[in-house]
Amino acid sequence: MLTRRRFIGQTIRAAVLIGAGNTLLSFVPGTFTLPDRKKVKLRFALASDGHFGQPKTDFDLTHSTMVDWLNREKETRGLDFSVINGDLFHDNPAFFPKVKAVWDRLNMPWYATHGNHDHVPEEEWNKALGYSWHHAFEQGDNGFIILNTADVTGKYVCPDLSYAETQLNRFAGKKNLFVFMHITPFKWTDNGIECPELTSLFAKQSNLKGIFHGHDHDQDAVKESGGKHYFFDGHIGGSWGVPYYGYRIVEVMKNGEVLTYQMNGTLSKQQNNNSIK
């Protein structure tokens, strides 16, 4: 629980079911309950935009608090891994090893996407984390692709299209596919960037269950395009955004459904939730 700042939690939004054919159905707020943990096959968390080192912010406190929240998720309902979805630190490369040491306190594996404020060369990123700005991995019937959306100076860029297409094809036979990229590939937010060739590939990928973003601190829900769903998770820290610190959970169920919900960490409550079939 944060002790130096208080944040007003948003009202829990209506639960939404993404059913077969990508139909959106709304439910009454507050009626959604989590299924039995025994029905969950894989569970992971996403959090973004810690901006470790940003002046006039409580970055030490917000990071240690988020680590505690994610470790609590691991100890209770379980987490297979976490993804820190960009802007790990704020501009100054001297903060990179410091924030890595903080995330290494997680009691689960963790991955990171490169954000526009993460001003380190790809070689240094690779040396520290063991993988490049573009990366892919798999667990059982699930494939995961990390795409880069900024250069070393922070300029927004579309991900490497050839790499993305290769990995989409590689994981085409998986039951579920998930993509993580810091900046959204649409100008539907103030801070997005148009990447039509990439989103066209996404629209054709039948097993792609979700694309997950950080960057837009004031976004914590879902947007839809081309029959695909693009999720946001608010922010860990920084100086602006939704009025709470939060993270997103994804649960892959044994029956094939994928459940995702945004958590208000301060209040330990869901902000919104979606089920993907």
Task: Please tell me the pTM assigned to this model.
Answer: 0.91
Position 177 scores a pLDDT of 98
Pairwise CA distance, residues 77 & 3, whole Å: 25
Q: Does residue 12 fall inside a structural domain?
A: no
pLDDT band at 8 (very low <50, low <70, confident <90, very high): very low
Q: Does residue 88 fall inside a structural domain?
A: yes
Q: Does residue 22 fall inside a structural domain?
A: no
Pairwise CA distance, residues 172 & 143, whole Å: 9
Position 25 scores a pLDDT of 34
The mean pLDDT of 7-33, rounded to a whole number, is: 38
Q: Residue 265: give its domain's CATH number.
A: 3.60.21.10
Position 15 scores a pLDDT of 32
- At 23, which amino acid appears? T
Q: Does residue 241 fall inside a structural domain?
A: yes
Position 277 scores a pLDDT of 81
pLDDT band at 30 (very low <50, low <70, confident <90, very high): low
Q: Does residue 162 fall inside a structural domain?
A: yes
pLDDT tens by residue, 228-269: 999 999 999 999 999 999 999 999 999 999 999 999 999 999
> What average pLDDT is seen over the chain?
90
Q: What is the residue range of 220's domain?
A: 40-276
pLDDT band at 17 (very low <50, low <70, confident <90, very high): very low
Position 32 scores a pLDDT of 74
Handedness of CA 101, 102, 105, 107 (dihedral sign): negative
The mean pLDDT of 44-67, rounded to a whole number, is: 98
Q: Does residue 262 fall inside a structural domain?
A: yes
3-state secondary structure the chain: CCCCCCCCCCCCCCCEEECHHHCEEECCCCCCCCCCHHHEEEEEEEECCCCECCCCCCHHHHHHHHHHHHHHHHHHCCCCEEEEECCCECCCHHHHHHHHHHHCCCCCCEEEECCCCCCCCHHHHHHHHCCCCCEEEEECCEEEEEECCECCCCCECCCCHHHHHHHHHHCCCCCEEEEEECCCCCCCCCCCCCCHHHHHHHHHCCCEEEEEECCCCCCCCEEEECCEEEEECCCCCCCCCCCCCEEEEEEEECCCCEEEEEEECCCCEEEEEEEEC
67 has a pLDDT exceeding 90: yes
pLDDT band at 33 (very low <50, low <70, confident <90, very high): confident
The mean pLDDT of 89-118, rounded to a whole number, is: 98
9 has a pLDDT exceeding 80: no
Residue 172 CB-density burial (10 A; 0-12 exposed, 13-18 middle, 19+ buried) = middle
Q: How many domains are there within the chain?
A: 1
pLDDT band at 31 (very low <50, low <70, confident <90, very high): low
62 has a pLDDT exceeding 60: yes
The pLDDT > 70 percentage for the chain reads 89
Position 156 scores a pLDDT of 98
Position 7 scores a pLDDT of 32
Q: Does residue 72 fall inside a structural domain?
A: yes
The mean pLDDT of 204-223, rounded to a whole number, is: 97
16 has a pLDDT exceeding 80: no
24 has a pLDDT exceeding 70: no
12 has a pLDDT exceeding 80: no
Q: Does residue 17 fall inside a structural domain?
A: no
